[in-house]
A and B are shown apart, each in its own frame.
Chain A
Amino acid sequence: MALLQPDKACEPIVVVRGLTKHFLVGRGFFRKERAWLHAVDDVSFEIARGEVLGLVGESGCGKTTTGRMLVKLTDPTAGCILIDNEDVAAIGGQGMREFRQTVQMIFQDPYESLDPRMTVFDIISEPLNVNHIGTLVNREERVAYMLSRVGITPPDMFFFRFPHELSGGQRQRVAIARALVVNPKFIVADEPTSMLDVSIRTGVMKLLAELQEDFGMSYLYITHDLAVARYLCDRIAVMYLGKIVEMAGAEEVIKNPLHPYTQALISAVPLPDPAIRRDVPNIRGGVSKPIDPPPICRFHPRCPAARSICSDRDYPDLAEVSPGHLVACHILVAR
């Protein structure tokens, strides 16, 4: 066993293969037929130790569902997830407690993710209580340390405050401290800064980057904002209607997007410079819902580059077009 240890550092912390989630829709009183919403469809990716992977896409593309499956808040329809070499689907009972010490989640809305009847100390020490980690004195020290790490100082001033006594930015910092208190190896962060005000948001983003470096965790960072993903992530995966359409290093995706959807997404981002006139994104129509979609490219009805092969062939697989740059597009791969 000892011989295997050095390899462990090179192994990815998260391995996702063929992850799929279908939700049942339309089973109403008047609608007798069953239909399935393909929220996440055959998604595969890996996250290395200490890496931050950004999952970017518009609302309804399945990015939150993917995140929830990784922390076992939603069970997948198919596919497998390995976190730290453990099959997430097989975890149950006592294993669940250990799993929760390895994997944590930070939610989008700090106004809803904190129990209004618990004090800051109770909120942050609860994961320690549940897992019987340390004595009360240890826990107090640990909570004080976490609070000071997330920029809430002096910590003992905040111990007995309730969430309603905190501002939005402070609440999100408490939520971050709660996630980090058990020293997780992997964190799913679901738009943790999108509800915060501009001047607060930057502080929280910087904090996340700093903590990631110090604690060496891995993140799955879910966001709709490409600029935020560029700032925080090592790699970016772009999702469209339940599928990953492009995945590459963060700078590569921003500077050299290949998939027509990524290109449209990037050209639609408003720029803070009135002198720049952007090109009109070359894209038609709007996002539909992937309810029982045919097994062909989901972007082709809106795609400016679509040709007959796009509607004739099955869904394009993610293929490597240059080192580390994966794209799911028949036209790009054929070239």
Chain B
Amino acid sequence: MDALLKVENFTMHYRTTAGHVKAVDDVTFSLARGQSLGLVGESGCGKTSIAMSIMRLLPYNSEIKSGRVFLGGQDVYSMREEDFRKLRWKEVAMIFQAAMNALNPVYTVGSQITEVILEHEPAASERDARERVAELFCTVGIPEERMDHYPHEYSGGMKQRAVIAMALACSPSLIIADEPTTALDVIVQDKILREMEEIRRKTDMSMIYISHDISVIAEVSDVVGVMYAGKLVEIGPADDIFKRPRHPYTYGLMNAYPSILGEKRDLATIPGEPPNLVFPPEGCRFHPRCDWATDECGTVEPPARYVGPNHSVACYNPFPAPSSGGDRIGVATA
């Protein structure tokens, strides 16, 4: 399959006064054209850091220790900054978390999107660009006449739509949506997610959704990646991950959420708290909180290995597939 995006053994640290924060550690994944990937994890697990790495928008105190990022076959970090800037918005665009702050308050929303188009397509006239913006507004469901309004005149949902329109402006092949609906109410969230999925299906774009909400990820992703403390602990087809979670953390995340579905059930708690990434635990970063950890887990980091088609997990004692009928705890103590 033709991979649009490849991230290979990517490791990135932030230098802080407290020491190096090991924010992203040896992360590998790829994304095909037209596919959607959902990255799920708690705050500080490195989801946004990966997005920023792909966009090449890392802050000055970041340090790439190893690994490479390929976008459409090109190595992102071997390019000159000016060359990559041409790809940004045209090849890869980002919908930032907190759309409220992603728009400039002193320009009209329309003019901010026209600017993106004019910057990347010098051949386009201002009139063409405005027409394009009108079309984009129509696609994301904002009335055309709102083009000349300022961000403060928009509601939260509309600002989010405007930011999506901006990401779509140059028809990129990949859009990274970082918590696109976190600040919104459920009904608006539902509408926007549906619209984004429809646009993706129509245009054959690839999408990376980043969220802490596993339910949102379940609704929009073909492939799901679960991150914990800078590690991609499990990645695989969405159906597989949700039916047969293999990593104990994935399992914990899925059972920690109350649901409105089915009968009321007890919730599983994951003991403890996420680690400080300046001094991450030895071995598996999840082992201090894992009920099934063995001595091995605390010493050597578990490598990612395949447990099914396109489904890999970094755990010594993954849940067995239900067909094998093995008892989880039995395996761990054996």
Q: Which residues of A contact B (CB under 8 A)?
A: 58-59, 167, 169-170, 197-203, 205-206, 224, 226-228, 230-231, 251, 254, 264-266, 268-276, 278, 280-281, 283, 286-287
Contacts and interface: CB of A to CB of B under 8 A. Distances in A.
20 contacts: A59-B185, A199-B269, A201-B256, A202-B257, A203-B269, A230-B258, A231-B267, A265-B186, A268-B189, A269-B260, A270-B193, A270-B216, A271-B215, A271-B259, A272-B218, A272-B261, A273-B218, A275-B242, A276-B261, A280-B190
Interface of B: 42-43, 155, 157, 185-190, 193-194, 212-216, 218-219, 221, 238-239, 242-243, 252-254, 256-261, 264, 267-271, 273-274, 289
Contacts of B215: 269-272
Nearest to A204: B269
A272 B218 CA distance: 5
Which one of A199, A205, A227, A286 has the highest number of Cβ atoms from chain B below 10 Å of its Cβ?
Answer: A199
Given A199-B42, A274-B239, A281-B190, A227 B274 contact: no
Contacts of B42: 197-199
Contact of A287 (B185, B190, B253, B258): B185
Contacts of B243: 275
Contacts of B155: 286
Contacts of A224: 185-186
Contacts of A269: 186, 215, 260
B187 A272 contact: no
Given A270-B189, A271-B215, A230 B257 contact: no
Given A205-B267, A274-B218, A58 B185 contact: yes
B242 A274 contact: yes
A197 B218 contact: no
B261 A273 contact: yes
B191 to A, nearest CB: 8
Contacts of B219: 270-271, 274
A198 to B, nearest CB: 6
A170 B272 CA distance: 10
B190 A270 contact: yes
Contact of B260 (A198, A199, A203, A227): A227
Contacts of B242: 272-275
A199 B256 contact: yes
A230 B187 contact: no
A197 B253 contact: no
Given A206-B269, A265-B186, A270-B213, A251 B194 contact: no
B190 A230 contact: no
Given A226-B260, A270-B216, A287-B185, A202 B268 contact: yes
B185 A230 contact: no
A254 B269 CA distance: 23
A28 B267 CA distance: 49
B59 to A, nearest CB: 22
Contacts of B188: 286
Contacts of A265: 186-187
Nearest to B215: A270
B185 A272 contact: no
Contacts of B185: 58-59, 224, 287
Instruction: Give 4 nearest A-B pairs by CB, closest first.
Output: A270-B215, A231-B258, A58-B185, A268-B190
A166 to B, nearest CB: 10
A200 B260 contact: no
Contacts of A228: 258
